[in-house]
Chains A and B, each alone.
Chain A
Amino acid sequence: GDSVTQMEGPVTLSEEAFLTINCTYTATGYPSLFWYVQYPGEGLQLLLKATKADDKGSNKGFEATYRKETTSFHLEKGSVQVSDSAVYFCALTEVGGGSNYKLTFGKGTLLTVNP
């Protein structure tokens, strides 16, 4: 079955540091890939997505590129802020499954950014 593996946290950085959160996936078909963010006490928000190989998703300074050859979708940001402190989830859904767009999540990575 499908699975997502992301680096375990927690990750602690200083403000303006470079961020990378690794994510790799296993899928039987042609997945779409996502990063979701969960701020403390809140629900999940879609951060960015990519629906085919070599697509780059970007939002709020975060980027991730869909790499089919390495089955990866690593999240990066050049300069993190305190307000980026949250839990980040990598996820995938298989395309072409009719109405069954089940999201499979990684275990989440807690990011803490210190001033």
Chain B
Amino acid sequence: DTAVSQTPKYLVTQMGNDKSIKCEQNLGHDTMYWYKQDSKKFLKIMFSYNNKELIINETVPNRFSPKSPDKAHLNLHINSLELGDSAVYFCASSQNYYGYTFGSGTRLTVV
């Protein structure tokens, strides 16, 4: 069983479209995250939810809206996609400071 699973793995879409990425974890962790990895491999946190409550929102355009229907799921919806949104988006979960478990990533390409 995959611990943190994201769908889709690849997403190619046109500018201006709206798209969603889904994430699910079966580890029983309380906290989930979205990270963005740019073309230079730099990783930066976008959002964090703890037990469905938004904890971290790091200067992300409001076109990005996370939603957590329960503590095992954290989805990311992106409105009006722009070329600069092209990146790999990673979902992750953690229970404490011993480290995260990451999903395998969603490669978003905006054309």
Contact = CB atoms under 8 A, between A and B. Distances in A.
**Do A and B belong to a common assembly?**
yes
B103 A43 contact: yes
A101 B94 contact: yes
A105 B96 contact: no
Interface residues of B, number: 28
Interface string B36-54: 0000111111001011000
Contact of A108 (B41, B90, B98): B41
Contact of B97 (A93, A105, A108): A93
Interface stretch (A14-22, A45-53, A63-71): A45-53
Size class of the contact patch on chain A = 20 to 34
Closest A-B pairs by Cβ, 4 of them: A99-B50, A43-B104, A105-B43, A44-B102
Residues of A contacting B: mostly: strand
A103 B100 contact: yes
Nearest to B88: A43
Interface of A: 32, 34, 36, 38, 42-46, 49, 51, 87, 89, 93-95, 99-105, 107-108, 110
Interface of B: 30-31, 33, 35, 40-45, 48, 50-51, 55-56, 90, 92, 94, 96-105
B81 to A, nearest CB: 22
A42 B45 CA distance: 18
A101 B31 contact: yes
Contacts of B42: 105, 107-108
